[in-house]
Amino acid sequence: MTSLEPAPDETSTHLETDVEVLVVGAGITGLYQLYRARVAGFSVQLLEAGGGVGGTWYWNRYPGARFDSESYTYAYLFSRELFEEWEWREHFAEQPEIERYLNHVVDRFDLRRHIRFGAKVTSAVYDETSGKWTVVIGDGTELRTQFFIAATGVLSVPYYPEVPGRQDFRGEAYHTGLWPAEPVDFAGKRVAVIGTGSSGVQVVPAIADEVASLTVYQRTANWCTPLNNAPITPEEQAQLRTDFEAMCETLNTSPSGFLHQAHDRATFDDSKEQRWEFFEKMWSSPGFSKLTSNYSDLLLDEAANAEWCEFVAEKIRTIVKDPETAEKLIPKHHRFGEKRPPFVTGYFEAFNNSNADLIDLEQTPILRVTEDGIETADGVREFDIVVWATGFDFGTGALNRMGIRGRDGVALEDHWADGPKTFLGVQTTGFPNFFFPGGPHAAAGNNPRYNGDQVDFITDALIYLRAHGCDTIEVSAAAEEKWTDMIDRWATRAPSFGEISYYFGSNIPGKPRKYLLNSAGRPKLFAEIDKVLESHYQAFRLSNSSNPARTGA
Ligand code: NA7
């Protein structure tokens, strides 16, 4: 462990080396998978590379890191008791509270004894004869499992751009996605933040008031709008409890897994005055409702989108006192919703501090990192701390790096050389008994909802296998092809993210430009799951490794 990695949780060093279900990743999805597998009566082990539970919410512990989906809709809903006993402090919880919550869940359901921390998977190889996987971790320990479930997340491999001299910097350097457990002391320091995605725009206001100077390196301005966070009042807490069932129902029938209600009017149904009044309401609304509750044509009609963008641009001009900085902060090349919109608290305001500066990398690109700072066409600026908020190898990053080898030794990264191919975002052909909930082709929306649906589907499939005397399951090439074609078709259809976004892998040089989410959302997943269940898993080949004659159910 380097000093940059959060300290390990010494309380769980448990390791069962021969199990029915092996889960990788102690994030929200992996912990739920562990819970479901255990309740279903399977022997189960969870491996986690980090030193504690949380996954994304373990590694991304930078100042200002918080949910931008409502806490109670992002958290677990499988247990009403859990929902009732955990009172979220804020509508959008901050990282420490999230980490506390996930630790509470682990202890509440006695899951810790199944988890081994500090156990990074280095290879996972399928054995055709036994139908089992052999999984090796960093210290060389070998494990055997019937079912191998990688809940390794989509935002778990931090990306550092190839900037010359990055390693030469002698000050402190941190990536937002690999933040140390010990607090970083920003007081009185000259700080650079590179990157203005969701992470960068959360860090900036969180440290703005304590640093000596803050220089933000922006390559692309983003359509940031206010998060509008607030503490949850006792009355709201009581209401949440009363409304639990109704809330679950709303979330389960919403394509993106949010509570926000869709608006029934299109932009130009209203006069300019009415529109601006409505936009003010949107501006003051919580989180993603700017996308989900805005005018119905916001993401479908260019002129409608441009109206909202004009409104947001005016807001930026009003907040940011220096007109030149304000103009730099207004996106010029993409519409609202074309990239994942960040939600902010005090981001634009931070640029009114006399010690804050915005460098527009479109005008003056970074040439190199030096021992003391960062050089652009404008010269060198010296820093004590550089924060790399430069994103992740999204979707396939972790899975393609785990040394996963399927039937005939085929490498997953080769099978997916042109982009991921999946069925339901849970299995890929040639890799029997291997699942990856919350991985590529998972939803665009409130992640834990869709990922939880996938975990339920997987667990139910394993229960079905057991009940029918089978121990091996592999999706057919035809089902995989059909689902992947559907993903690609929906990817280019409005309302979808633009192709210049990490959702298409465009932030990683050389990565295939393939859509990594599922824009059809939960309704399509539910419909397909229903078909699978009605057809008794026809999309899959079920078999028994010790009795090849026992095939299908
Ligand atoms: P993002 O959203 O991928 O943002 C990464 C940022 O880093 C973005 O502003 C990039 O600019 C910038 N970047 C990337 N490479 C460079 C180079 N070479 N030079 C300068 N700037 C660069 O990652 P986040 O961590 O902010 O958010 C990820 C998700 O976490 C988010 O969507 C939420 O789901 C939570 P670009 O826009 O590519 O020009």
Q: Which atom of ligand 1 is nearest to the CA of 198?
A: 26
Ligand 1 pocket: which of 92, 154, 162, 198 to mutate (most atoms within 8 A of CB): 198
* CB atoms closer than 10 angstroms to residue 98: 24
Pairing of strands 142-150, 434-435: parallel
Give yes or no for residue 466 CB within 6 A of ligand 1: no
Percent of the residues in the chain that have a pLDDT greater than 90, as a whole number: 86
Q: Phi and psi (nearest 5°) for 229?
A: -75, 160
Note the pLDDT tens digit of each residue in 440-489. 998 778 899 999 999 999 999 999 999 999 999 999 999 999 999 999 98
| Separation of CA 195 and ligand 1 centre (Å) | 5
CA-nearest residue for atom 37, ligand 1, is 220
Q: Phi and psi (nearest 5°) for 455?
A: -60, -40
- Give me the pLDDT at residue 442, please: 87
Ligand 1 pocket: which of 390, 497, 500, 511 to mutate (most atoms within 8 A of CB): 390
Q: Which atom of ligand 1 is nearest to the CA of 163?
A: 18
Q: What is the residue whose two structure tokens read 């209600």? A: 261
- Give me the pLDDT at residue 18, please: 97
Give yes or no for residue 155 CB within 6 A of ligand 1: yes
- Give me the pLDDT at residue 4, please: 47
Give yes or no for residue 196 CB within 6 A of ligand 1: yes
Question: Of 395 and 553, which is predicted with more confidence?
Answer: 395
| Separation of CA 476 and ligand 1 centre (Å) | 36
| Token code pair at residue 140 | 């060389």
CB 193 within 8 A of CB 389: yes
- With a CB cutoff of 8 Å and minimum separation 6, the contacts of 442 are 154, 425, 450, 451, 454, 517, 518
Give yes or no for residue 200 CB within 6 A of ligand 1: yes
Residue 496 has pLDDT above 70, yes or no: no
- Give me the pLDDT at residue 550, please: 53
CB 40 within 8 A of CB 459: yes
Given phi > 0 = left and psi -120 to 50 = alpha, else beta, which region is 542?
A: beta
CA-nearest residue for atom 27, ligand 1, is 198
Q: How confident is the model at residue 522 (pLDDT cuts 50, 70, 90)?
A: confident
Note the pLDDT tens digit of each residue in 238-267. 999 999 999 999 998 887 888 988 999 999
Question: In a 10 Å sphere around its CB, with 0-12 CB exposed, 13-18 middle and 19+ buried, how is residue 192 labelled?
Answer: buried
Give yes or no for residue 156 CB within 6 A of ligand 1: no
Q: How far apart are the first and last CA of the chain?
A: 47
When mean pLDDT is compared across 4-18, 26-40, 106-120, 369-383, the lowest value belongs to 4-18
| Separation of CA 507 and ligand 1 centre (Å) | 8
CA-nearest residue for atom 29, ligand 1, is 198
Q: Which atom of ligand 1 is nearest to the CA of 176?
A: 25
**Buried b vs exposed e over 343-375: b needs ≥16 C-beta within 10 Å?**
bbbbbbbbbeeeebbbbbbeeeebbebbebbbb
- E-strand stretches of 65-160: 115-116, 121-127, 132-137, 142-150
Residue 443 DSSP symbol? E
Work out the average pLDDT over 162-174: 97
- Give me the pLDDT at residue 255, please: 79
When mean pLDDT is compared across 1-5, 188-192, 536-540, the lowest value belongs to 1-5
| Token code pair at residue 374 | 């960062």
Q: What is the CA radius of gyration of the chain?
A: 24
CA distance 188 to 518: 44
The residue type found at 244 is F
Give yes or no for residue 65 CB within 6 A of ligand 1: no
Q: What angle do CA 383, 385, 387 make, to 5 degrees?
A: 120
| Token code pair at residue 243 | 């409304």
Note the pLDDT tens digit of each residue in 98-135. 999 999 999 999 999 999 999 999 999 999 999 999 99
CA-nearest residue for atom 23, ligand 1, is 391
CA distance 348 to 320: 6
Is the bond into 341 cis (omega within 30 degrees of 0)? no
Give yes or no for residue 161 CB within 6 A of ligand 1: yes
Work out the average pLDDT over 281-301: 95
Ligand 1 pocket: which of 227, 500, 507 to mutate (most atoms within 8 A of CB): 507
Give yes or no for residue 507 CB within 6 A of ligand 1: yes
Torsion angle of the four alpha carbons 303, 308, 310, 311, in this order, in degrees rounded to the nearest 10? 150
Note the pLDDT tens digit of each residue in 72-91. 999 999 999 999 999 999 99
Ligand 1 pocket: which of 219, 288, 500, 517 to mutate (most atoms within 8 A of CB): 219
Residue 2 has pLDDT above 50, yes or no: no
CB 44 within 8 A of CB 114: yes
Q: What is the residue whose two structure tokens read 């949910």? A: 67
| Separation of CA 12 and ligand 1 centre (Å) | 34
| Separation of CA 391 and ligand 1 centre (Å) | 4
| Token code pair at residue 341 | 């919109």
Q: Give the distance from CA 338 to its chain's centroid.
A: 17
When mean pLDDT is compared across 343-347, 470-474, 506-510, the lowest value belongs to 506-510
Give yes or no for residue 180 CB within 6 A of ligand 1: no
| Token code pair at residue 352 | 């009114």
Q: What is the mean pLDDT of the chain?
A: 94
| Token code pair at residue 166 | 């990055």
Q: What is the residue whose two structure tokens read 């935002």? A: 155
Residue 548 has pLDDT above 80, yes or no: no
Work out the average pLDDT over 295-318: 96
Give yes or no for residue 501 CB within 6 A of ligand 1: no
| Separation of CA 436 and ligand 1 centre (Å) | 24
DSSP H/E element including 522: helix 521-534
3-state secondary structure 27-81: CHHHHHHHHHHHHCCCCEEEECCCCCCCCHHHHCCCCCCECCCCHHHHCCCCCHH
When mean pLDDT is compared across 49-53, 68-72, 405-409, 543-547, the lowest value belongs to 543-547
CA-nearest residue for atom 12, ligand 1, is 195
Q: Which atom of ligand 1 is nearest to the CA of 361?
A: 20
CA distance 546 to 9: 39
